[in-house]
Amino acid sequence: MKHILVTGATGQIGSELVPALRERYGCAQVIAAGHKTKPQPGLAESGTYTTLDVTQIESIEAVVKQYQIDTIFHLAALLSAKAEEKPQLAWKVNMTGLYNVLEVSRKNECAVFFPSSIGAFGPDTPRDNTPQDTLQHPNTMYGVCKVSGELLCNYYYTRFGVDTRGVRYPGLISYDTLPGGGTTDYAVEIFYRAIKEKKYNCFLKQGTYLDMMYMPDAVRAAIQLMETDASRLKHRNAFNITAMSFAPEELAASIQKFIPDFFMQYTVDPVRQAIADSWPCHMDDRAAREEWGWEPRYNLESMTQDMIDRLTVKLNSGRL
């Protein structure tokens, strides 16, 4: 990877993947692109940021040619809850955007990273130890886009030789950006509320087990997969990866170890509860471990401690 483009760079993954890529490959080698005209300060100060509408293929091609891009981390997409609110827009951004990236990559010999999700599974998928290869009948527009995306990326690999690779991310927990319309975002919001108000009203019910991962692990996984020798890969789109599985009350208990008077109550959002109930509780990620050495570094307690430490600093500096 010498010249990298990150689409969706202002989003939850992009805002932490861009700095990690710039540290590893050099700031000038990593172009951050997003739909926002005013990105987070870090993105534009440490390297090139350009606005990009992924539904317009010409704008993608122009950026790829201008910067001689050889690898695209394509993150631009609507997340699950937003996609259920606006399914037609979600299809347009998530699928037309991906198709455009794959077409430009085919013509310009770019490798492509595509983030799939536990959302690519549905109610009839085995929910415990979800196999790498299993039923994928999602009943959400987000999930339909993710399954379609996995199939389209595999097609572009087998039919045109485009080096496409991806992971099925669990819920991602991060301190850099505020939550953006996801079903697992309760596991991010809870930290902001715990630190500022010492209480949180959770929109998922107790006992809702979901796979989760701390963002530093998620960023490292994307880079590690794209750096892996292609001859090792038996799968491509997309690898199950996870780090932990917990229910809201377990996350609350972990926070209470650091903020003893933290209090959690529940007001269930039926839309996001239905989405969560259609997703696995815990995926089998042996294929990723065997084929490219995937290994998480954060568990529930270490993630909780790091999130609280970092958000406390942001709060004290007036940035929260």
Interface contacts to ligand VAH, rule CB under 6 A:
79-80, 117-119, 142, 169-172, 182-185
**Cα separations in angstroms, 315 against 33, 61, 184, 188, 192:** 28, 41, 23, 15, 9
Nearer to ligand VAH, 49 or 246 (CB): 246
**Of 25, 49, 99, 142, which is the active-site residue?**
142
Q: How far is the CB of 80 from ligand VAH (least distance, A)?
A: 3
State which residue has the least CB distance to ligand VAH: 182
Least distance CB 46 / ligand VAH (angstroms): 25
Q: Based on CB atoms, which residue is closest to ligand VAH, 18 or 77?
A: 77
Decide: 32 and 9 in contact? Cβ < 8 Å: yes
Minimum CB separation of residue 163 from ligand VAH in Å reads 23
Two tokens at 39?
């990105």
65: CB partners within 8 A, 6+ apart: 108
Residue 65 CB, nearest approach to ligand VAH (Å) = 31
Residue with tokens 């080096």: 163
CB 209 → ligand VAH: shortest distance, Å?
13
Q: Sort strands 128-130 and 49-51 into parallel, antiparallel or unpaired.
A: unpaired
- CB nearer to ligand VAH: pick between 29 and 278: 278
20 three-state secondary structure: helix
Sign of CA dihedral 253, 256, 257, 258: positive
We find the least distance from the C-beta atom of residue 203 to ligand VAH, in angstroms, to be 11
Identify whether 142 is a catalytic site residue.
yes
> Given 3-state DSSP classes, what are the helix, strand and coil percentages for the chain, each rounded to the nearest 5?
45, 15, 35
Q: Give 14 or 170: the residue with its C-beta nearer to ligand VAH.
A: 170
Smallest Cα–Cα separation from 63: which of 15, 20, 30, 111?
30
Q: Which is nearer to ligand VAH, 47 or 115 (CB)?
A: 115
Which residues 6+ apart lie within 8 Å of 102 measured at CB?
112, 152, 153, 156, 162, 164
CA atoms of 228 and 299, how far apart (whole Å): 24
| Closest to ligand VAH by CB, 150 or 185 | 185
Backbone torsions φ then ψ of 238, nearest 5 degrees: -140, 160
Hunting for tokens 């809870």 — which residue is that? 190
* Active-site amino acid positions: 142
